[in-house]
Chain A
Amino acid sequence: MATAQTHGRSVVLVDGCRIPFQRSGTRYVDLMAYDMGRMVLKGLLTRTGLDPDAVDRVVMGCVIQDVETSNVAREAALGASIPKHVPAFTVTMACISSNQAITSGAELIQSGQADIVIAGGTETLSDPPIRVKRSVRKRLFEARKAKSPRDYLQLVKGLSPSDLLPESPSIAEYSTGEVMGESADKLAAMFGVSREEQDEYALLSHERAAAARDDGRLAKELVPATLPPTFDPVTTDNTIRDDSTLEKLRQLSPVFVKPFGTVTAGNSSPLTDGASATLLMSAERAEAMGYTPTARLREYTYVAQDPGAELLLGPAYAIPKVLDAAGLTLGDIDVFELHEAFAGQVLAVLAALDSDAFATDTLNRASAVGAIPMDKLNTRGGSVSLGHPFGATGARIVTTAANRLHEEDGELALMAACAAGGQGHAILLERVAS
């Protein structure tokens, strides 16, 4: 099975940024995903000094669509004054939506359809679309034809008061009915990851994020957001728990599998609002325009597993595939970024990669893929501490990984993420010498 070996033209990452991520229901509570998308696009254009007229395409990932702005990429691009003649489209692939935005953009460049693509994602989980029940919606649709009071009366007939109760979107997997936290709990158990290890990992994620925030490493990827009515600047992620301790984490009850589960609110990624964007170019165009890219896209792949059995194990399948395609091993990689849906899920992926049994039984390999060293993994925290606006996480991770290559003086960065539907993604970046 082919991975996306970069046939065709070379694609480079010029820059990336995001607005600070905020816990849902906090600073971005009144915003639409479109608002955040608009802000991050404008932020990226400003910090790169790019003439928006040069943009060939805008691609944004988004998971929970607002019907008002169903092609949110287009509305956000128009709102950010990207010229009307620049086409924009929205992609959706659960938690790897903005990864799909980036690779779709890269493919446009590789094939010669575009030279400059802005790829990112935006998501609000503060305002999930709450609907009235189907029975009521159907009547509302018919109400367009109603004329007399009798017609209206006819429409109300047979409705019970409970029909008027709104429905919030379920976060359960559509095909299996399983909530993602249950899957994570199961996955952690499958690889023998204890509650204590999960809590320790969560704590580490928060500590690393806090340190990266305090020493300014995180600031490099942030563009501040200023919002009406006060326009008080939002400059840092409010998802990082500075006061977190192992003691406190230990006391939390499992939320998904009661009473003997291990996944808690403390060792899971929080509901988050935010947006992120990257600037991709063909290598020639970047050079012609005088940009110094941060990284070149080497390889990427997508995988899919049974959503019932291995909903969140995608990275354990995607990572060896990408490494094999590039002729590399784990030891060659300097920077690792793994999406942290749940601490237990990250640790399960690490355990799977380091397991001979998993390698022989599932990956058809002679021995384990290998151990990812903790000091190369998510050194600025991850989704547990930085939050996880579904459609925006992928572009955050790619940006972070590219920046880390320079700060940590590495050559190769490997990123991977899991997604609802049992899907997964891995992407390999190579530093462009500055």
Chain B
Amino acid sequence: MATDAALSTDLITLDVDADGIATLWINQPNKQVNTISEATLTAFEEAIDAMERDPTIRAGVFISGKDASFIVGADLDMIKTFASPADVRALSRRAHALIRRVQTLGKPTVAAINGPAMGGGLEMALGCTYRIATTHAKTKLALPEVQLGLLPGGGGTQHLPRLVGIQQALTMMLTGKNIYPKKAQRIGLVDALIHPPGLHRAAKEAARQLADGTRTPQHAEQSFTDRVLESNTVSRRIIYQQAGERTKKRTHGNYPAPPKIIECVKVGMEDGLEAGLDLEARYFGDLVFTPESKALVSLFFAKQDAEKNPLKDHAQPVREIGVLGAGLMGAGIAQVSAENGVDVVIKDQNLERAAGGRKHVWDGVHKKTTKGILSNFEEDVIVERVVPVDDYAPLQAADVVIEAVPENLDLKRQVLADTEAVIRDDAVFASNTSSIPIAEIAAEAEHPERVLGMHYFSPVPQIPLLELIVTEQTSNAAVATAYDAGLTQGKTVIVVNDGPGFYTTRILALYMNEALLLLEEGADIEQGDAAMEQWGFPMGPFELFDLVGIDVAAKITEIMGARLGGGDYQISDRAADLAAANLLGQKTNLGFYAYEANNGDTEQGDLNEDVYRFFGGADRTSMDPDTIQQRLGLMMVNAAVRCLEDGILRSPTDGDLGAVFGLGFPPFRGGPFRYVDHEGAAGIVMKLERLTEAHGPRYAPSSLLREHAAAGTSFHR
């Protein structure tokens, strides 16, 4: 009806019902999801023009035409095309103006949210008079810009704190975390909830009632303390200050966005909306062009690309996974499988150990239930998918069998042979070894074409990477099926070629080895850890030794040393000495640090000074953080490039993904290859040459680095 409401755009269609309630259907053609782009803003402006113009329209409903997806945020491809901060600021100001027009339209507006409302999508909703969200499992609201090194540039830093309070808003914007429907209603982010099929009708009813004056939006009550805290300048200043300190502690100042977010909120709340919006637009423009944001955005795209299985057509369905070994790794693999709908048969030497694996799964899953992420029934279904056994026979129906038995070549060959005796000919066998070359494990296999490596990282449920290792014999079907299994488990998958330590273990082992060499030279443990945390790793190398287990590290050193040795590498054998002294790290409560078990969690205590006796005594020389960072960081970066040169890695992007999502390489640096690109290959080569002079040929820059340095080229375009 109402022909004067017809729009020229096909991004939004406008329906007006007999009651004068306009519905703006947001539905970008030929796209799976709606995003905020310049074209969408134009369409919104036109729709608002029409709403202003048409006197029969009394109120409006903003709703998505997509299936369970509102607006997922700004179009990142568009952001990449901006030439200067001024362009970005202009976009931000345009969004601000649009939201102001919605707010001053004189006709109430209702955002009807089904599925994710993220970033710019949520900011549009914040401009509306009223918000209704569905109880759909996919409905979530977030301002995740900080995860891309940005801030909410569509008025989010201003309108969110005004709606849900300063503390809640800061938490949302500084973490980027998802807010699910029930909580969204509790904190006042949305006004009402409804089931998905009733959304449009409910939104129209709300719009009509708002227009009639029979409904006024009620702000959710803040708690008494929050209200008091946010009511005066003095205590608000404390809130900003504490948020700043917390952020600094977490990010070591490596990320420019969080302090800017806090400042925007502060200026907006203390000096007024206009001042806040101005600052938001300015900082948004600045942040888009920071190397940190560019690195994070590139990782985002790389991760998205890795979600597509390149060999999709070769994949066989994965209904059941067999796991051999019910230790921490095996149980972790079982958990991520069962949580994603795959049946798991978990085998160990006896039923008690296998059942221990099931208990580990329960421990992990039950934590989510107590947090309200899963219902009791969902927990039951997940845990019931995991069947502990002490015999190979029940593996007969498995589509993929993953071994997670101790790192011992003979043992791995034995479990492979025992498994092959019972599984189907087309079932895949994967080894979760962290260092033994897959070809060696597969050497005596009946079907070497189905053998590959599926290298998970501990703790499996938390670390996103899965490194697939293929040998020359591995079939496409096996790779494709394992890739699909990894995607089902929610993993970011990279495929690498076989070799000692493959990619991740190789570069990590050399980095960790270098940390031990530093200690041998007299470095201080805490200084070493602090320096690498400052550089951007989630923990320092010695804390990491304690976490993975010094015995495990010693085993890897032994395997890697034998296979990489002979060359220029200088391998420290101190991990083996520590392991022999039963200083294994967290599992014995004593390693480089002392640990204390507390309620099932392990808490880090003081430095274990005693370990210095393995490294030349308690006398330590202070090293400046920059030296430590160069020694360790460049060791890893150079090793990564060598993996590409040696054909272990298939692309620099895989190298970046593997290092960031498997090893915790600082995300704001974008990965080793992105880091070289940013620093310039020539500069890296120069530093490596200096290190070679000082510390030996293990630092010799890889030839690929030299090539890029000479040609002035980079790994990524």
Kindly state whether residue B224 has any CB partner on chain A within 8 Å. no
Complex Cα–Cα for A182 and B195 (A): 8
Chain A residues near B194: list those with CB within 8 A.
Answer: 257, 260-261
Output the least CB separation between B79 and chain A (Å): 36
Evaluate contact between B195 and A185: CB separation under 8 angstroms.
Answer: yes
Output the least CB separation between A288 and chain B (Å): 51
Output the least CB separation between A167 and chain B (Å): 15
Kindly state whether residue B198 has any CB partner on chain A within 8 Å. yes
Chain A residues near B196: list those with CB within 8 A.
Answer: 186
Stretch binding the partner chain, chosen from B199-207, B469-477, B478-486, B579-587: B199-207
Output the least CB separation between B553 and chain A (Å): 45
Evaluate contact between B197 and A176: CB separation under 8 angstroms.
Answer: no
Q: Closest chain B residue to A191 by CB distance? A: B197
Complex Cα–Cα for A176 and B202 (A): 23
Known contacts A260-B132, A260-B205, A177 near B198 by CB under 8 Å: no
Complex Cα–Cα for A189 and B195 (A): 8
Kindly state whether residue A175 has any CB partner on chain B within 8 Å. yes
Q: Closest chain B residue to A260 by CB distance? A: B202
Kindly state whether residue A198 has any CB partner on chain B within 8 Å. no
Output the least CB separation between B383 and chain A (Å): 15
Q: Closest chain A residue to B375 by CB distance? A: A177
Evaluate contact between B197 and A189: CB separation under 8 angstroms.
Answer: yes
Q: Closest chain B residue to A173 by CB distance? A: B377
Kindly state whether residue B192 has any CB partner on chain A within 8 Å. yes
Output the least CB separation between B340 and chain A (Å): 18
Kindly state whether residue A262 has any CB partner on chain B within 8 Å. yes
Chain B interface size band reads: 10 to 19
Complex Cα–Cα for A255 and B677 (A): 61
Known contacts A260-B192, A260-B206, A175 near B377 by CB under 8 Å: yes
Kindly state whether residue A174 has any CB partner on chain B within 8 Å. yes
Output the least CB separation between B284 and chain A (Å): 36
Kindly state whether residue A327 has any CB partner on chain B within 8 Å. no
Evaluate contact between A262 and B377: CB separation under 8 angstroms.
Answer: no
Kindly state whether residue A259 has any CB partner on chain B within 8 Å. yes
Kindly state whether residue A54 has any CB partner on chain B within 8 Å. no
Complex Cα–Cα for A259 and B132 (A): 11
Complex Cα–Cα for A185 and B202 (A): 12
Evaluate contact between B198 and A186: CB separation under 8 angstroms.
Answer: yes
Output the least CB separation between A417 and chain B (Å): 22
Evaluate contact between B375 and A186: CB separation under 8 angstroms.
Answer: no
Evaluate contact between B198 and A262: CB separation under 8 angstroms.
Answer: yes
Chain A interface secondary structure, helix, strand, loop or mixed?
A: loop
Chain A residues near B192: list those with CB within 8 A.
Answer: 259-260
Kindly state whether residue A29 has any CB partner on chain B within 8 Å. no
Evaluate contact between A189 and B201: CB separation under 8 angstroms.
Answer: yes
Chain B interface secondary structure, helix, strand, loop or mixed?
A: helix
Complex Cα–Cα for A189 and B375 (A): 25
Of A174, A177, A190, which contacts B197 at CB under 8 A? A190
Q: Closest chain A residue to B200 by CB distance? A: A189
Chain B residues near A182: list those with CB within 8 A.
Answer: 195
Complex Cα–Cα for A261 and B192 (A): 11
Evaluate contact between B198 and A174: CB separation under 8 angstroms.
Answer: no
Known contacts A260-B192, A260-B206, A186 near B197 by CB under 8 Å: yes
Chain B residues near A174: list those with CB within 8 A.
Answer: 377
Of A176, A186, A194, which contacts B377 at CB under 8 A? A176
Complex Cα–Cα for A186 and B206 (A): 18
Complex Cα–Cα for A331 and B375 (A): 45
Chain A residues near B198: list those with CB within 8 A.
Answer: 185-186, 189, 257, 260-262
Chain B residues near A189: list those with CB within 8 A.
Answer: 195, 197-198, 201
Q: Closest chain A residue to B198 by CB distance? A: A189
Chain A residues near B201: list those with CB within 8 A.
Answer: 189, 194, 260
Chain A residues near B375: list those with CB within 8 A.
Answer: 176-177
Chain A 182-218, CB within 8 Å of chain B: the 1/0 string? 1001100110001000000000000000000000000
Complex Cα–Cα for A190 and B375 (A): 25
Chain A 249-290, CB within 8 Å of chain B: the 1/0 string? 000000001011110000000000000000000000000000
Within 8 A of A (CB), among B606-656: none
Chain B residues near A259: list those with CB within 8 A.
Answer: 192
Chain A residues near B205: list those with CB within 8 A.
Answer: 260
Complex Cα–Cα for A262 and B202 (A): 10
Q: Closest chain B residue to A259 by CB distance? A: B192
Complex Cα–Cα for A403 and B206 (A): 47
Output the least CB separation between B201 and chain A (Å): 7
Complex Cα–Cα for A357 and B377 (A): 32
Output the least CB separation between B115 and chain A (Å): 16
Q: Closest chain A residue to B132 by CB distance? A: A260
Chain B residues near A257: list those with CB within 8 A.
Answer: 194-195, 198
Q: Closest chain B residue to A194 by CB distance? A: B201
Within 8 A of A (CB), among B372-420: 375, 377
Chain A residues near B132: list those with CB within 8 A.
Answer: 260
Output the least CB separation between B497 and chain A (Å): 44
Q: Closest chain A residue to B199 by CB distance? A: A189
Q: Closest chain B residue to A348 by CB distance? A: B197
Complex Cα–Cα for A186 and B198 (A): 7
Complex Cα–Cα for A182 and B196 (A): 12
Output the least CB separation between A267 and chain B (Å): 15
Complex Cα–Cα for A194 and B201 (A): 9
Complex Cα–Cα for A55 and B132 (A): 59
A residues within 8 Å of B by Cβ?
174-177, 182, 185-186, 189-190, 194, 257, 259-262
B residues within 8 Å of A by Cβ?
132, 192, 194-198, 201-202, 205-206, 375, 377
Besides A176-B375, A259-B192, A260-B132, 18 new A-B residue pairs in contact (Cβ under 8 A), listed by A number: A174-B377, A177-B375, A177-B377, A185-B198, A186-B197, A186-B198, A189-B197, A189-B198, A189-B201, A190-B197, A194-B201, A257-B194, A260-B192, A260-B201, A260-B202, A260-B205, A260-B206, A261-B194
Sampled A-B contacts (11; CB under 8 Å): A175-B377, A176-B375, A176-B377, A177-B377, A185-B198, A189-B195, A189-B197, A257-B198, A260-B132, A260-B198, A262-B198
State the 9 A-B residue pairs at the shortest beta-carbon distance, nearest first. A260-B202, A189-B198, A189-B197, A186-B195, A190-B197, A175-B377, A260-B194, A177-B375, A260-B205
